[in-house]
Structure 1
Amino acid sequence: METTAARGLTAAEVRERVAAGQANDVPRRSSRSVGEIVRANVLTRFNALIGTLFVLVLAFGQWQDGLFGGIIVANSAIGVIQELRAKRTLDRLAVIGETPVTVRRDGAEETVAQHEVVLGDLIVLGTGDRIPVDGAVASARGLEVDESLLTGEADPVHKAPGDQVQSGSFVVAGGGAFTAEKVGRDAYAARLVEEASRFTLARSELMSGIDRFLKWITWLIVPTAVLLFVSQWNSAGSVPAAVVGAVAGVVTMIPEGLVLMTSIAFAVGVVRLGRRRCLVQELPAIEGLARVDVLCVDKTGTLTEPGMDLDRVVALSDALPGRAALAALAAGDDDPNATMRAVQEGLGEPDPHWTITGTVPFSSARKWSGAAFDGHGSWAFGAADVLLGPADPARAEAERLGSTGLRVLALARVPDGSFADPDGLDATASAEPAALVVLRQRVRPDAAETLRYFADQDVTVKVISGDNPVSVGAIAADLGLPGASHPVDARTLPDGAGAMGEVLEANSVFGRVSPQQKRAMVKALQSRGHTVAMTGDGVNDVLALKDADLGISMGSGSGATRAVAQIVLLDNRFATLPHVVGEGRRVLGNIERVANLFLTKTVYSILLSVLVGLVGVRFPFLPRHLTLISSLTIGIPAFFLALAPNTERARAGFVPRVLRFAVPAGIACGAATFAGYRLATENPATGFEDDSTTASLALFVLALWVLLLIARPWNWWRLSLVAAMAAAFLVVLAVPWLRDFFALHPDNLQNDLTALAIAVGASVLLTLSLRWDTWYQRFRRPRKPEAETTDPQR
């Protein structure tokens, strides 16, 4: 049985299990299904409400007044098409970014997709691998598993043959193999993937704010509609006229395009980032991108490219066979990391074929690995400042080399029996230094430009690395990172979040950071009000990625980091991050513009309906009037504004900020329109169509001014958009059949000039009101402390 277990399943056994449905066939949840997309975009409360109003207009009025019914088709079609595009992008990228699994079948190792794992498969594990299914350990070589995603405990758990491992955990040290006992929906990973990879708009300040608006509007619609219907019945004297008037008021209250434009902006953001090979695993991540003001990056894989080159080996003792021991360590490592691969490729020393009697895998906590050889002693290989004593001249040489940006490791012989308790080994007191191994890191050519971008965008970059702080600081300084000239050794950091936060604010480069410290540093920055993004590619970054406001993983990183990150950079390029942050700012800033437009319309429609109901006059518009005005001042412009470039950093307070604009703008529009309409009705020579034309002119002019204010800062295309909408309205007034179709009759010059004068006056008052609000908000905003304003990092 041991021989069979070591060889894994046969091809015939794999086929039998697949046929029996015992494969790891968890459905990929990178996006909603087609049916869910269609239902979510068609079966909405607004479509139901607008559809009901459309039927009422067709039953009691003219079909021209039912033009707003096209909103249902347009909203649903655009929403479905855009989300299907996003779905295709996400699904394609999810396949590319999926972590493969190494299994042993017929005695040979092969790589398969996660869904191809079957019950009974022997799965081979190495450092950084994520455990995809549940099972029992079959073999272990210093196997340590991080189960923090399952238990919340950060300490690695040693695993021996027979111990259980669960999906959702990952290997932090050593290696081994386990037998798959629970696959598919029976495995714990099924629930993790279902939750972590769902295409959702939930859990975001933006969407919660929009939901709040929609709830308020829903509660206001019912009593306003009743009031409006009763008043129209009394003033018009007939049910059909009352229904048409009430529908005209209610339709305008509904911000039917707000949710649509929000969905489109998010979906287009996913597609745009997908073209840059950036996988967005959770849609709220796009909002998080816009709010980031501190970016924590690891040096390895971010500022430097994956992989290193061996520069030289400096012998420290003629009595110790350092190069031979180094060659033996490299040859005996079944799962070499980037450091050991560089040694293997650049050493040029033949394998001495020493017999290994024991090993200690590398861990980020110990910062060294080792092996014991029969007749050749025990050897440790790792960080120079961990294996060499403070007074050792070799350590001073290592620090001198590290200050130039090189990575320096030490090889030392330790007493036999030291590996029985590797965590208790005091290497600096007992190790015999044998050699310094100098590695040259590959700095990314676009790293300096990327750092300059973040400095220009007020995003503070913190380099948090497990490497020597002097070496990390030298690389960061060469790239022009402010504050890199005084790196901090994380082993000297205070424990408290407050004290640690002060040090983090004042410095930008930190070395010798443990995985637990990375997590604590993220929390310390968050406690000081920062929105923190964390990038990483190694297993030591997982805890910090999970706790950061936004976790970003490199595509070449371990399966564990890709599993917990909200965004995966599949091209492994640090230079992609500016595009990622820029896309988030574009989406969030533009949605706020769109929300201002739609909620202004809601406010003025509610005000008009209430005034009409209280005064007891006929509603000033037919539904077709409001369809035309809304399309030209809100619907069409919103589509372009939602997808326009925008680099402004997001700020908290979405709801009050939108209300501070939409409420005065809506009141100005509603009050000016009602005033113009009431003055027109006082003229006995005009009828309803003439009076409604006067109201339409007043509302269009003021709504166009609101659009102009929202479109700031002005540039050629925004001004051209506003001018095009004005020209379109003039075309409707100038072309006879369009004028008749929309029931517009600008025949009374006195009324029309009065409406224009009222609209211009209201525009001036609105502009002054918004200016005063801007000044007041700036005045009441608390001043930053002197220490913060003078900090060069800010």
Structure 2
Amino acid sequence: MDVAVPAGLTSAEVATLRRAGEANTPVGGTSRGYATILRTNVFSFYNTILFVIGAALLAMGRWNDAFVSVGLGLVNAVLSAAQEIRAKRKLDGLQLLEKAPVVVVRDGGETPAAPADVVRGDVVRVRAGDQVVVDGPVLPGGWVEVDESLLTGESEPVVKRPGDDLRSGTVCVAGEGHQEARDVGAASYAGRLTAEARRVTTDKTPLQRRIDFVVRLVMALVVLMSGAILAQAALEGFSLLRVVQITAVLSGLVPYGLFFLIALAYTRGAALIASRGALVQQVNAVESISHVDVVCTDKTGTLTTGRLALKDVEPLGGQDAAAALGAFARSATTQNLTTAALAASLPGTAWEVRDEVPFASSLRWSGVVTSEGAWVLGAPDALAPHLARPLPASAVAERAGSGLRVLLLARAVDPDAPLRDADGRAALPPLEAVGLVAMADELRPEVAETVRRFAAGGVALKVLSGDDPRTVAALATQAGLDPGRPAPGPDLEGLDDAALDRVVGRTTVFGRVAPEQKERIVSSLRRHGRYVTMIGDGVNDARALKAAHVGVAMRSGSAVTRDVADVVLVDDSFAALLPARAEGRRIISGIAVSTYVFLARVATQGLVILAVTMLGLGFPYSPTQVGLTLLTVGVPTLFLTLWARPTAPDERLLGNLARFVVPAALVTAGFGTAVYAWLYKAVAQGFTTGRTPAEVIAQFESYTGLTYGTDADFAEAAATIGAQTGLSTFVGLASFVLILFLAPPSRLFAAWTRPTGDRRPAVLVAMLLVAFAAVLFVPALSDYFGLTGPAAPVFTVVLPALVLWFAALWAVLRLRLLDRILGLDQLP
């Protein structure tokens, strides 16, 4: 094509525009820098408190206490920061435009330039195979045909003539011309889309929000309790070390380990889901998938394979249309989806081709000239004006109404007729119809079954496509959906949110929708409380993926879509979402059970601290004793989460937590306080009577670091550590039994819920009992955790109390006494 070269900018003009910021500079990174990410995650309000306490304990030489107090908070901070930094690096590297050089007209001649060096007002040459890098009109003297499917989802190329706009990110597939660079950099379509795709839009899941609420509530209660207890410590003249230790224990009441447990469960779930065809890029998507009740999906590349399937061939005029179509498809040197599908489905031998007119959307037909004559394959309405006899009126309409792609094969009436005019341009001679061929997008083999299983699970599907609504509706019907009345994208233009909500609520299929409309449809569903997954493969889907709760991309899709997605389907099959949904539900079930264990421990410790403080006895815990929660909470919750079964999320989780945790904490704290008080008084009285054996005195001197008869507070310190040992023993054993209440292996423990039939929790409890016995009976371990060695008085108090505690808690849970006392069973 001979295209006149327009005048371009001069080098001086380019330099001036570049200094003025008018260059096609790629959009910048995300808003949060690395320093901000580290500061907000590592030095959060809670972590700052822990670090101050840890520094004070280190300064006083309390290494064990400092490690226990600070360790978990620091691990959580590192995990959170690493995850956000990983997401930032992926988004910052996201670019819609390629880096291949383009040709610009400057100083009267054409010169190559990097896309980033193009400035506003430049003249850019566009040829077949080039990516358009800026926005602006086609200049006079040429035309181009561009593939906009990456941006709009429209599968057919579009012809752009002088004055028509080219958008950055599209690809020229035919023709040649020049474009004026009107919008560059962040102002271009590709720049705006890239900036939108880089926007950080991570949603907290319902479980994360509930856990966050619980942790904040506990923090508020701990702050109030800490103020009262520390005020009392100041009035009683506690040492600085004692104040710091008390503060460390109180801060340890915050169930921060729940966040760590969730991160661990998400990571394991992501690994399991990856083995089933779904790569999780945003870890909380593992849980989010389980809440989804609406799946919005693109058509091409998601429901379909991207290939065409032959549906029907109707001979016209008495010729062997099938054989002719097979020969035509094999003879075309420029293959496309249509000819590839015909060649794969029909027999035939390639003709010797003398001339060929490749398919172009501006022509809407392609043709070959052979020794058998000229043959043409194209859209019926494009060939109809040249037919010697018109086609039957219903032949095309019925097939097109079913969403099929209908093509007409025809041959020239004159065997010697060419397919070009005197100037060499493509032109049709008089034709006679040979056959009609109907083709359809090839449905992925697993789609129909997946749609059925989603529907059985209460998940609705909506198809959002850039293709013709009739075609999309026909495909939806093949997939097992009721398409109803499809909604064309142009009909959605100008609708306010309320009107759009009404359309979205009643519509299953949307066709000819733009990327912005896909995003609005997803936002409409979210406004109405739906939990939305968006599945797509093109850049045109990126905004909708960002707007959804869970964005899912196909591996074969565009790099931009994969980068912004929460989940990537590595086998291009959205059937992988089904096992992912089951895994998400298993994680929710496991973390919910673990939350019961965590909060029961927190509430019990808090009530014991309050009760013992009110009794005027020594503080019931030291920071190292709080470290025993590794056995009573940490290890059990880890295994309970791993062993959980997939069940529907508990929508009344917070209420059920209260129904279990409050009675469990009240009963456990009541018995624990009694054990503590009895042992405290017994030990204190033993040292004041003067009848304590010398070997016992020597043992307590080693425990406390004080001297009997010399240090005035020896008896109080000895009574405190002795009572703490009894309390830790009782609460530890009760915590193990509490696991059996939550996962009953038999009817004996089925006071809160029905027996599970799973014996693994019972085996876990047995192993924990062995480990706890080692803590009590191995001197190195008991010293590390700030406990005395095994003593008979401890067990003679703890074991009977444990039996009574079991009976009391079983009755309270079985009879739902809390519900009856508070009238919860009467609430609507």
Q: Under a length normalisation based on structure 1, what TM-score does the superposition of the two structures give?
A: 0.68
- Post-superposition Cα deviations, 1:565-590, rounded to whole Å, max 9, x if no partner, equal 54332431233222433444345444
Q: CA deviation at 1:454?
A: 3.9
SS at match of 2:252: helix
- The letter of the residue matching 2:50 is I
Q: CA deviation at 1:291?
A: 0.8
1:656-675 correspondence to structure 2 within 5 Å: 658-659=657-658, 661-675=660-674
Match of 2:647 in 1: 648
Match of 1:724 in 2: 767
1:12-411 correspondence to structure 2 within 5 Å: 39=39, 42-58=42-58, 63-69=63-69, 71-72=70-71, 75-77=73-75, 80=78, 84=82, 101=98, 105=102, 117-120=115-118, 141=144, 161=162, 193=194, 196-197=197-198, 201-232=202-233, 238-240=238-240, 242-243=242-243, 246-247=246-247, 249-267=249-267, 269=269, 278=278, 280=280, 285-297=285-297, 300-310=300-310, 313-316=313-316, 338-339=337-338, 342=341, 359-360=361-362, 380=379, 392-395=393-396, 398=399, 407-411=404-408
Q: Does the 8 Å CA contact 1:633/1:704 hold for their aligned counterparts?
A: yes
Q: Does the 8 Å CA contact 1:531/1:549 hold for their aligned counterparts?
A: yes
Q: Are residues 278 and 25 of structure 1, via their aligned partners in 2, closer, same or farther at CA, if it must alter by over 3 Å?
A: farther
Q: Does the 8 Å CA contact 1:515/1:543 hold for their aligned counterparts?
A: no
CA distance in 1, matches of 2:802, 2:51: 34
Match of 1:603 in 2: 603
1:230-629 correspondence to structure 2 within 5 Å: 230-232=231-233, 238-240=238-240, 242-243=242-243, 246-247=246-247, 249-267=249-267, 269=269, 278=278, 280=280, 285-297=285-297, 300-310=300-310, 313-316=313-316, 338-339=337-338, 342=341, 359-360=361-362, 380=379, 392-395=393-396, 398=399, 407-411=404-408, 435-439=435-439, 442-447=442-447, 450-451=450-451, 454=454, 457-460=457-460, 466=469, 468=471, 472=475, 475-476=478-479, 488=484, 490=486, 513-515=511-513, 529-537=529-537, 548-557=548-557, 565-628=565-628
Match of 1:111 in 2: none
Q: Does the 8 Å CA contact 1:497/1:524 hold for their aligned counterparts?
A: yes
Match of 2:725 in 1: 693
Q: Are residues 731 and 249 of structure 1, via their aligned partners in 2, closer, same or farther at CA, if it must alter by over 3 Å?
A: same
Q: Are residues 720 and 3 of structure 1, via their aligned partners in 2, closer, same or farther at CA, if it must alter by over 3 Å?
A: farther
Q: CA deviation at 1:592?
A: 3.7
Q: CA deviation at 1:339?
A: 4.5
Q: Are residues 301 and 520 of structure 1, via their aligned partners in 2, closer, same or farther at CA, if it must alter by over 3 Å?
A: same
Match of 1:153 in 2: none
Q: CA deviation at 1:695?
A: 1.6
Match of 2:782 in 1: 739
Match of 1:636 in 2: 635
CA distance in 2, matches of 1:447, 1:4: 51
Q: Bigger CA drift: 555-564 or 605-614? A: 555-564
Q: Does the 8 Å CA contact 2:24/2:134 hold for their aligned counterparts?
A: no
**Unmatched runs of 5 consecutive residues or more in structure 1:** 8-12, 108-114, 150-155, 362-368, 384-388, 414-431, 505-509, 783-794
Q: How many residues align?
A: 704
RMSD between superposed Cα atoms in Å: 6.1
SS at match of 2:621: coil
Match of 1:764 in 2: 810
Q: Does the 8 Å CA contact 2:313/2:322 hold for their aligned counterparts?
A: no
CA distance in 2, matches of 1:125, 1:722: 72
Q: CA deviation at 1:625?
A: 1.7
- The letter of the residue matching 1:258 is L
CA distance in 2, matches of 1:263, 1:231: 38
Q: Does the 8 Å CA contact 2:532/2:549 hold for their aligned counterparts?
A: yes
Q: Does the 8 Å CA contact 2:663/2:813 hold for their aligned counterparts?
A: no
- The letter of the residue matching 2:777 is A
SS at match of 1:253: coil
Q: Are residues 201 and 393 of structure 1, via their aligned partners in 2, closer, same or farther at CA, if it must alter by over 3 Å?
A: closer
Q: Does the 8 Å CA contact 1:83/1:267 hold for their aligned counterparts?
A: no
CA distance in 2, matches of 1:397, 1:47: 68
Q: Bigger CA drift: 743-752 or 583-592? A: 583-592
SS at match of 2:228: helix
Match of 2:734 in 1: 702
SS at match of 1:409: strand
**Unmatched runs of 5 consecutive residues or more in structure 2:** 9-13, 105-112, 369-373, 383-389, 411-431, 493-498, 688-718, 745-755
Q: Does the 8 Å CA contact 1:370/1:381 hold for their aligned counterparts?
A: no
- Post-superposition Cα deviations, 1:348-376, rounded to whole Å, max 9, x if no partner, equal 67878577999559xxxxxxx67999x99
CA distance in 2, matches of 1:308, 1:354: 23
CA distance in 1, matches of 2:391, 2:536: 30
Q: Does the 8 Å CA contact 1:698/1:756 hold for their aligned counterparts?
A: yes
CA distance in 1, matches of 2:501, 2:27: 44
Q: Does the 8 Å CA contact 2:22/2:184 hold for their aligned counterparts?
A: no
Q: Does the 8 Å CA contact 2:143/2:161 hold for their aligned counterparts?
A: yes
SS at match of 1:225: helix
Q: Under a length normalisation based on structure 2, what TM-score does the superposition of the two structures give?
A: 0.65
1:752 equivalent in alignment to 2:798: yes
SS at match of 1:552: strand
- Post-superposition Cα deviations, 1:231-257, rounded to whole Å, max 9, x if no partner, equal 34566x642574256235413322232
Q: CA deviation at 1:292?
A: 0.8
Q: Are residues 461 and 184 of structure 1, via their aligned partners in 2, closer, same or farther at CA, if it must alter by over 3 Å?
A: closer
